[in-house]
């Protein structure tokens, strides 16, 4: 495997690969890799000749009071894991080259960034869209793979890719979970043993809402109440939001119409750690 840190060097490698007819895939990550990331690398492997995995803890997607400085990092371990899953090029740009002095250009996706995560984290998706646009220009991928774990991020990237005419196919990998259902996340290491135990309620509450829908419940208020009751029964849990929205527009659905594709999503704090999870339901 090749490790590339320079942007120009990454672009030259991508240009050379494209000239020789290779199909390039990109898996953008912030590192501290786990099975969720590796599953995306394996999907990329299946859909391309050359897999580029990027590791960049992107400062512009963190709010001023968020965990940028203490975000977990372990480049040695990440390198070994990235290789084991089939990465050909590990792209590790530096913040000073990505955002040099005088940097002033951002990608703003309107409307779908104003709800859910975007409401609580007002500058987050501007940072995400900007860094993904930059990574597309660095690695020049034919295909890029993202995780359903960050459902709104997928919707934002799809919108930006379409709107800005990036010639990149967007693929989405399913949420990878721990055995007890907790969605894998680099941030799970922040949880205390007790918070970790209580955090399994998130997946259970989503499963319960799915069962209620299958049993005929169509009122979002009833679904949200049932989930909220389960979650708040855990003393460490503080709900940021629980949402039942249209999977594409992310607009709230008060009632689930027949045939609707709904995104059930939530954000819950356990102590200082904020966890998100979701499930897609076809009514
Ligand atoms: P991150 O390093 O948190 O920025 O995540 C990089 C990519 O991995 C994003 O596309 C995430 O949606 C995806 N991802 C993170 N956790 C999971 C998971 N548990 N299952 C599937 N994909 C995930």
Per-residue pLDDT of the chain (283 residues; tens, 9 = 90+): 999 999 999 999 999 999 999 999 999 999 999 999 999 999 999 999 999 999 999 999 999 999 999 999 999 999 999 999 999 999 999 999 999 999 999 999 999 999 999 999 999 999 999 999 999 999 999 999 999 999 999 999 999 999 999 999 999 999 999 999 999 999 999 999 999 999 999 999 999 999 999 999 999 999 999 999 999 999 999 999 999 999 989 999 999 999 999 999 999 999 999 999 999 999 9
Torsion angles phi and psi, residue 263, rounded to 5: -105, 115
Question: Which residue, judged by its Cα, is nearest atom 19 of ligand 1?
Answer: 184
Instruction: Report the distance separating Cα 106 and Cα 128, nearest Å.
Output: 10
Does residue 127's CB lie within 6 angstroms of at least one atom of ligand 1? no
Q: Is 25 in the pocket of ligand 1 (CB under 6 A)?
A: no
Three-class SS of residue 109?
Answer: coil
Distance 62 CA to ligand 1 centre (A): 16
Neighbours of 100 (CB within 10 A): 8
Q: Is 118 in the pocket of ligand 1 (CB under 6 A)?
A: no
Whether 240 and 120 have beta carbons less than 8 Å apart is answered as yes
Q: Ligand 1 centroid vs 173 CA: distance in angstroms?
A: 9
| Known active-site residue 37 | yes
CA 72 to chain centre: 16
Query: What is the reported pLDDT for 215?
Result: 97
Which of 153, 217, 173, 165 has its CA nearest to residue 43?
173
Does ligand 1 come within 6 angstroms of the Cβ of 78?
no
| Ligand 1 centroid distance, CA of 247 (Å) | 18
Residue 170, helix vs strand vs coil: strand
What separation in Å is there between the alpha carbon of 68 and the centre of ligand 1?
17
Confidence (pLDDT) at 14: 99
Compute, in angstroms, the gap from residue 19 CA to the centroid of ligand 1.
30
Contacts of 128 (CB under 8 A, 6+ apart): 58, 61, 153, 156, 157
Find out whether the beta carbon of 176 lies less than 6 Å from any atom of ligand 1: yes
Ligand 1 neighbourhood includes 54 CB (under 6 angstroms): no
pTM, two decimal places: 0.97
Spatial CA neighbour of 176 closest among 12, 36, 6: 36
Q: Residue 152 corresponds to which tokens in the numbers above? A: 């709104």
Residue (of 65, 178, 164, 204) closest to 124 by Cα position: 65
Are 125 and 117 contacting, i.e. CB atoms less than 8 angstroms apart? yes
280: three-class secondary structure by DSSP: strand
The closest residue, in CA terms, to atom 6 on ligand 1 is 29
Ligand 1 pocket check for 186: Cβ under 6 Å: yes
Active-site option among 34, 37, 47, 203: 37
Which two tokens mark 200? 């399994």
Q: What pLDDT score was predicted for residue 125?
A: 98
**270 phi and psi angles, rounded to 5 deg:** -120, 105
The DSSP code for 179 is T
Distance CA 201, CA 203 (A): 6
CA distance 155 to 75: 29
Phi-psi sector, 271: left (phi>0), alpha (psi -120 to 50), beta: left
């Amino acid at each position: 495997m090749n490790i590339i840190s320079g942007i120009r060097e990454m672009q030259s490698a991508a240009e050379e690969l494209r000239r020789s007819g290779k199909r390039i895939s990109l898996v953008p990550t912030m590192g501290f890799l786990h099975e969720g990331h590796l599953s995306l690398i394996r999907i990329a492997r299946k859909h391309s000749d050359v897999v580029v995995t990027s590791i960049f803890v992107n400062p512009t997607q963190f709010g001023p009071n968020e965990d940028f400085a203490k975000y977990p990092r372990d480049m040695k371990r990440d390198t070994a894991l990235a290789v084991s899953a089939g990465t050909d090029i590990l792209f590790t740009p530096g913040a000073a080259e990505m955002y040099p002095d005088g940097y002033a250009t951002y990608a703003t996706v309107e409307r779908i960034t104003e709800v859910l995560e975007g409401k609580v984290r007002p500058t987050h998706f501007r940072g995400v869209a900007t860094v993904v646009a930059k990574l597309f220009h660095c690695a020049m991928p034919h295909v890029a793979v993202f995780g359903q774990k960050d459902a709104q991020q997928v919707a934002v990237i799809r919108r930006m890719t379409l709107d800005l005419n990036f010639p990149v196919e967007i693929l989405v990998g399913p949420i990878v979970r721990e055995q007890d259902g907790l969605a894998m996340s680099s941030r799970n290491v922040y949880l205390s043993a007790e918070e970790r135990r209580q955090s399994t309620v998130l997946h259970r509450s989503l499963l319960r809402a799915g069962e209620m829908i299958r049993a005929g419940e169509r009122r979002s208020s009833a679904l949200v109440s049932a989930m909220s009751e389960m979650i708040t029964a855990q003393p460490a849990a503080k709900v940021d939001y629980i949402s039942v929205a249209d999977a594409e527009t992310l607009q709230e659905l008060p009632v689930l119409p027949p045939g609707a594709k709904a995104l059930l999503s939530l954000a819950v704090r356990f102590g200082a750690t904020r966890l998100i999870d979701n499930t897609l339901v076809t009514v």
